[in-house]
Amino acid sequence: MLDFDTCNQARLRRDPAYDGVFFTAVRTTGIYCRPVCPVKHPLSKNVRYYPSAAAAEQAGYRPCLRCRPETAPFCAAWKGTQTTVERALTLIEAGALDTGSVEALADRLGIGTRHLSRLFADHIGASPLQTAQTLRIGRAKRLLSDTTLPITEIAFRAGFGSVRRFNAVFLKLYGRPPSSIRRPKG
């Protein structure tokens, strides 16, 4: 968190470079704002600074209705549905669809399955399952290139449920079995 003087100077200048970097809470009104808020400046002795909108709310302040600090740049609400897709991608990369279903993933994100599919179509251009499969293939390809692990172990480490599925996906995508992708060591 920035020091009081830096925040105070940025607030008094209404410096857009600090928008979303800190939030100004006013003790006398119980409201917190963005540094670019167009309202009359409160006295410096009545303000406190917080690193996030959530921290200001945790301290008991409510958001300003004029500058809408909960939607400041760099805040999840400002990024909108992209945040949900990024969270989903993080979970998929961690293997959420290797062992679970799209329904379970949507539940973890607090949205419906159809909405999750629409978000992926809009932001990624592929379904969550297609995205997970692409990630699995990438992991498998790296393991094939970089290790001497047996094909069976690579299939399971990459997130495939069976060697048969692993082979089928490679055959469909590359037109050859995974063993032919492996670089000969030597």
In a domain, residue 27? The reply is yes
Is a pLDDT exceeding 60 seen at residue 76?
no
Instruction: Find the catalytic residue in 31, 36, 37, 155.
Output: 37
Give CA separation, 106 vs 21, 62, 90, 110, in Å. 30, 30, 13, 6
7 is catalytic: no
Residues 8 and 72 in one domain: yes
Residues 66 and 84 in one domain: no
- DSSP string spanning 165-183? HHHHHHHHHHSS-GGGTSP
Residues 140 and 176 in one domain: yes
Category of 36 on φ-ψ map: left (φ > 0), alpha (ψ -120 to 50) or beta: alpha
Residues 24 and 62 in one domain: yes
Residue with the bigger pLDDT between 83 and 186: it is: 83
33 is catalytic: yes
Is a pLDDT exceeding 90 seen at residue 12?
yes
* 8 A C-beta contact, residue 32 and residue 64: yes
Instruction: Find the catalytic residue in 64, 119, 140, 158.
Output: 64
In a domain, residue 41? The reply is yes
64 is catalytic: yes
In a domain, residue 141? The reply is yes
Residues 84 and 24 in one domain: no
Is 57 exposed, middle or buried, given 0-12, 13-18 or 19+ CB atoms closer than 10 A? middle
Q: Can you give the pTM of this predicted structure?
A: 0.58
Residues 155 and 169 in one domain: yes
Asked which of 51, 76, 101 is the last residue of a domain, the reply is: 76
Could you give the number of structural domains in the chain?
3
Residues 106 and 160 in one domain: no
Instruction: Find the catalytic residue in 25, 67, 92, 119.
Output: 67
Residues 64 and 32 in one domain: yes
- State pLDDT tens for residues 34-69: 999 999 999 999 999 998 888 898 899 999 888 888
Residues 45 and 99 in one domain: no
Distance of CA 52 to the CA centre of its chain: 17
Category of 14 on φ-ψ map: left (φ > 0), alpha (ψ -120 to 50) or beta: left
In this prediction, residues 129-139 reach a mean pLDDT of 89
In a domain, residue 186? The reply is no
Instruction: Find the catalytic residue in 21, 31, 33, 91.
Output: 33
In a domain, residue 185? The reply is no
Residues 173 and 110 in one domain: no
Distance of CA 13 to the CA centre of its chain: 32
Residues 87 and 61 in one domain: no
**Domain assignment of residue 63, given as a range:** 4-76
In this prediction, residues 108-119 reach a mean pLDDT of 91
Is a pLDDT exceeding 70 seen at residue 75?
no
- State pLDDT tens for residues 142-181: 899 889 999 999 999 999 989 999 999 988 888 889 988 8
Residues 64 and 88 in one domain: no
Domain CATH number, residue 146: 1.10.10.60
